[in-house]
């Protein structure tokens, strides 16, 4: 029997009965998601203001040095929009996007997996730390040279370079996160008879995420940069290849347009993919802030 | 008999904490374990609760489930109070609806409001958090409860309220409990029996039944019992911080 509160008429009660529980829960989730999305987009204005400050600085630089050294932002944007009409942008962008996405997924996946496993073992941690420092110490440009020798000039060497250059960052993040897991909370979970996988999922992973998100953000940013660099040096098409051509032609606005495109991709990866994910999984963190959780 | 520790001994990094410790916990019995800091009370509790493997001796358990209330609340910061209280049930694989209902019932038992259930631990006061921790332990309907100095960090009034809550829950749910404390008055309020450990070598200095039933002893009685013991050399270590320092 459904009991309606004294404040709602019989009709409301009827409507409630007619609506199945899952539908009601779904509708509530939809509303919550919309509210959250609206808030997220609205918060973007502040970030946009920061970007426009940067653009103003860029404009000032342009006015000082002139178009040949530093093309104006507007000029760059015009060239970029012009590129949208031709076929080479879609081609180059998708090539670069696939390479850096593949590199990012491999680097983040392998690094996270290996790092969190190593974080559980003190010996592994001691052995892996210097190895990571060594891998990080090798400049990405050196990896490109090696990858070119090993794999020839194809998309594979760009991906490999991304993986080698970015893997240690995710690895170090996951390692640090797993090593600093709260053993007291782990003991609490054990006292309830939680198995190792359950404990990892409920106790270690949420803690790990706060280390992983910054690492993943850096990995993603790195992936874009290194892919373009590898493409430029190995002459394997993509945005890097286009940059090389533009440089050869001394078409500076074209160079800045391609750079702008890469930056836009990096921004989209971070604020369009990683940050929303972080907001969703780390909602509890804002509970500790002065303004609390936005419900 | 619910739980028995036979000739249990343990050492941390080669330093022996205690040896040949025996304990039998009867059905529905609350045993208080008192002793100065560092005498191995918590280690004994961890061994009894299966969180630490003893170096020597063995532990016999004749019950289905246990739960531990730690000195700190140990709530998961990323879960709401409701999900924290339901954590043990989730681990046990109970359904979502059942978890929610039980969590709410236990929360009300320990004096949390319905509004508090959707809050995260950081939004709760220290006392509220410890209440949630007690509710989480009660939610799994344990046969044996382990309390590890659970109320040391809360104020006097709240401590008494929480003690009463534990006593009432023990009587209602008929669980046995091992209650580690260094507060004799707390031991006298909640327990049937008291074991006193030595701070020097972790030996059992004394074991005694406490007159009357937990929950039936009024403040006057508790005070008189503790006052009566204060002259007893058995408790000298507990009362005399100077001597403890030299030991």
String of DSSP letters for A135-164: HHHS-HHHHHHHHHHHH-SSHHHHHHHHHH
Verify that B191 and B211 share a domain, yes or no.
yes
Q: Is residue B171 part of a domain?
A: yes
| Alpha helices, H only, A235-274 | 238-248, 252-267
Overall average pLDDT of the A210-224 stretch: 90
Q: Does B93 touch chain A (CB under 8 A)?
A: no
d(CA B39, CA B62): 27
Say if residue B160 is in the same domain as residue B220. yes
- One domain, residues B57 and B153: yes
pLDDT of residue B12: 85
Query: Looking up tokens 């008429």, which residue turns up?
Result: A9
For residue A292, what pLDDT is reported? 61
Residues of A with Cβ-Cβ distance to B120 under 8 angstroms: 284, 287-288, 293
Q: How many CA atoms lie within 13 A of B207 on its CB side?
A: 7
The token duo for B61 is 């358990």
**For residue B124, is it within any domain?**
yes
Q: Total domain count for chain A? A: 1
CB contact (8 A) between residue B123 and residue A293: yes
Chain A neighbors of B51, CB-CB under 8 A: 187, 190-191
Confidence of residue A5 (pLDDT cuts 50, 70, 90): very low
Higher pLDDT, A37 or B194: B194
Could you read off the pLDDT of B216-247 as tens digits, one per residue?
888 888 888 888 888 888 887 776 655 544 44
- Comparing A54-58, A111-115, A251-255, B150-154, the range with the smallest average pLDDT is B150-154
Q: Which domain holds residue A254?
A: 71-288
Q: Which DSSP helix (H) or strand (E) runs through B196?
A: strand B193-197
Note whether B199 and B247 are within 8 A (CB).
yes
Instruction: Provide the number of structural domains found in chain B.
Output: 2
How confident is the model at residue A51, as a pLDDT?
92
* Phi, psi (degrees; rounded to nearest 5) at B150: -75, -25
Structure tokens at A21: 């529980």
Ramachandran category for residue A224: left, alpha or beta (phi over 0 → left; psi -120 to 50 → alpha): alpha
Q: Which two tokens stand for residue A271?
A: 């604020």
- Residue A115: inside a domain, yes or no? yes
**Residue B68 β-bridge partners:** B146
- Per-residue pLDDT, A9: 46
In a domain, B70, yes or no: no
Q: A238 burial class (0-12, 13-18, 19+ CB within 10 angstroms)?
A: buried
Which of B85, B108, B142 is the last residue before a domain boundary?
B142
Do B138 and B149 lie in one domain? The reply is no
Please report whether residue A44 resides in a domain.
Answer: no
Q: B76 at the A interface (CB within 8 A)?
A: yes
Do both B208 and B230 map to the same domain?
yes
User: In this structure, what CATH number is given to the domain that contains residue A166?
Assistant: 1.10.3720.10
How many whole angstroms separate alpha carbon A35 and alpha carbon A43? 12
H helices of B29-155, where? 41-48, 81-85, 87-91, 96-109, 126-139
Domain boundary among B116, B142, B168: B142
Residue A156 lies in a domain: yes
Has residue A15 got a pLDDT over 60? no
Q: Give the one of B87, B91, B122 whose C-beta lies nearest to A287's C-beta.
A: B122
Give one DSSP letter per residue of B137-188, joined into a string: HHHT--SEEEEESTTTTS-HHHHHHHHHHHHHHHHHHT-EEEEEES-HHHHH
Q: Is B133 in contact with B151 (CB distance < 8 Å)?
A: no
Residues B37 and B155 in one domain: yes
The CA–CA distances, whole Å, from B102 to B74, B86, B88, B134, B139 equal: 20, 7, 11, 13, 6
Q: Summarize pLDDT for A269-291 with one digit per residue, the tens.
A: 888 888 888 887 877 887 777 76
Residue A24 lies in a domain: no
Q: Which residues does chain B have within 8 Å of residue A293's beta carbon, measured at their own beta carbons?
A: 120, 123
Q: Specify if A35 maps to a domain.
A: no
Considering the domain architecture, whether residues B178 and B105 belong to the same structural domain is answered as no
The token pair at A153 is 């000039």
CA distance B166 to A39: 44
- Residue pLDDT, tens place only, B68-122: 999 999 999 999 999 999 999 999 999 889 999 999 999 998 989 999 999 999 9
User: Which pair of tokens denotes residue A30?
Assistant: 């939809």
On whether both B83 and B173 belong to a single domain, the answer is no
Q: Are residues B43 and B148 in the same domain?
A: yes
Does the global pTM surpass 0.90?
no
- Residue B148 main-chain phi, psi, to 5 deg: -110, 90
- Same domain (yes/no): B126, B165: no
Distance (Å, whole) CA A147 – CA A154? 10
Query: Does some domain include residue B71?
Result: no
**Structural domain of B127:** 77-142
Tell me which of A127-136, A203-212, B65-74, B123-132 is least confident.
Answer: A127-136
Do residues B150 and B169 share a domain?
yes
- Predicted confidence at residue A35, as pLDDT, reads 85
Q: Is A189 on the interface with B (CB under 8 A)?
A: yes
Here the CATH number for the domain that contains residue B15 is 3.40.50.300
* Closest residue to B91, CB basis, from A185, A194, A282: A194
Residue A133 in domain: yes
Domain-located, residue B72: no
Q: What is the pLDDT of residue A8?
A: 46
Q: Closest by alpha carbon to A2, among A18, A24, A25, A22?
A: A18
A191 has a chain B CB within 8 A of its CB: yes
What's the pLDDT band for B43 if we cut at 50, 70, 90?
Answer: very high
| Cβ–Cβ contact A288 with B under 8 A | yes
Both B150 and B137 in one domain: the answer is: no
Residue B69 resides in a domain: no
Q: Note whether B123 contacts A292, CB cutoff 8 Å.
A: yes
With respect to residue A79, please indicate whether it lies within any of the assigned structural domains: yes
Residue A31 domain-assigned (yes or no): no
Q: Do A284 and B67 touch (CB under 8 A)?
A: no
Burial class (CB in 10 A: 0-12, 13-18, 19+), A100: buried
pLDDT for position A1: 41
């Amino acid at each position: 029997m459904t009991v309606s509160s004294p404040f709602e008429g019989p009709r409301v009660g009827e409507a409630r009965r007619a609506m199945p529980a899952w539908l009601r829960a779904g509708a509530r989730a939809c509303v919550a998601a919309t509210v959250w999305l609206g808030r997220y987009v609205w918060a973007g204005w502040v970030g946009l203001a920061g970007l426009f400050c940067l653009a103003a600085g860029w404009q000032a630089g342009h006015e000082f040095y002139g178009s040949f050294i530093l093309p104006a932002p507007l000029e760059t944007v015009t060239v970029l929009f012009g590129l949208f009409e031709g076929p080479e942008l879609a081609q180059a962008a998708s090539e670069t996007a696939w390479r850096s996405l593949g590199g990012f997924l491999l680097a983040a996946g392998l690094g996270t997996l290996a790092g969190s496993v190593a974080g559980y073992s003190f010996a592994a941690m001691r052995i892996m730390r210097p190895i990571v420092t060594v891998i990080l110490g090798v400049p990405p440009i050196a990896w490109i040279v090696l990858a070119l020798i090993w794999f020839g000039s194809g998309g594979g060497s760009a991906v490999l370079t991304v993986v080698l250059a970015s893997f240690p960052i995710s690895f170090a993040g996951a390692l640090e996160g797993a090593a600093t897991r709260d053993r007291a909370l782990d003991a609490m979970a054990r006292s309830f008879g939680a198995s190792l996988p359950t404990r990892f999922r409920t106790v270690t992973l949420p803690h790990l995420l706060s280390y992983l998100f910054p690492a993943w953000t850096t990995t993603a940013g790195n992936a874009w940069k290194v892919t373009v660099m590898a493409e430029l040096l190995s002459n394997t098409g993509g945005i890097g290849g286009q940059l090389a051509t533009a440089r050869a032609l001394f078409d500076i606005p074209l160079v800045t347009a391609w750079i702008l495109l890469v930056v836009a991709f990096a921004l989209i990866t971070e604020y369009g993919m990683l940050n929303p994910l972080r907001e969703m999984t780390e909602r509890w963190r804002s509970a500790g802030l002065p303004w609390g959780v936005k419900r | 008999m619910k739980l028995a520790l036979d000739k249990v001994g343990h050492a941390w990094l080669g330093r022996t904490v205690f040896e040949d410790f025996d304990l039998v916990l009867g059905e529905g019995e609350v045993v208080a374990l008192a002793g100065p800091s560092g005498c191995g009370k918590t280690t004994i509790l961890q061994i009894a609760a299966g969180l630490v493997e003893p170096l020597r001796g063995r532990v016999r358990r004749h019950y289905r489930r246990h739960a531990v209330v730690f000195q700190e609340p140990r709530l998961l910061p990323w879960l709401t109070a409701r999900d924290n209280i339901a954590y043990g049930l989730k681990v046990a694989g109970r359904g979502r609806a059942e978890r929610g209902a039980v969590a709410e019932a236990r929360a009300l038992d320990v004096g949390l409001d319905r509004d508090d259930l959707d809050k995260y631990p950081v939004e709760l006061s220290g006392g509220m958090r410890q209440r949630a921790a007690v509710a989480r332990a009660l939610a799994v309907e344990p046969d044996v409860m382990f309390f590890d100095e659970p109320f040391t960090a809360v104020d006097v009034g709240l401590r008494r309220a929480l003690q009463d809550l534990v006593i009432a829950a023990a009587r209602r749910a008929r669980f046995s409990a091992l209650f580690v404390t260094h507060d004799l008055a707390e031991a006298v309020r909640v327990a049937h029996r008291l074991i006193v450990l030595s701070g020097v070598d972790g030996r059992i200095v004394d074991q005694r039944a406490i007159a009357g039933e937990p929950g039936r002893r009024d403040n006057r009685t508790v005070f008189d019992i503790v006052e009566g013991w204060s002259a007893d050399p058995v408790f000298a270590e507990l009362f005399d911080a100077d001597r403890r320092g030299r030991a």
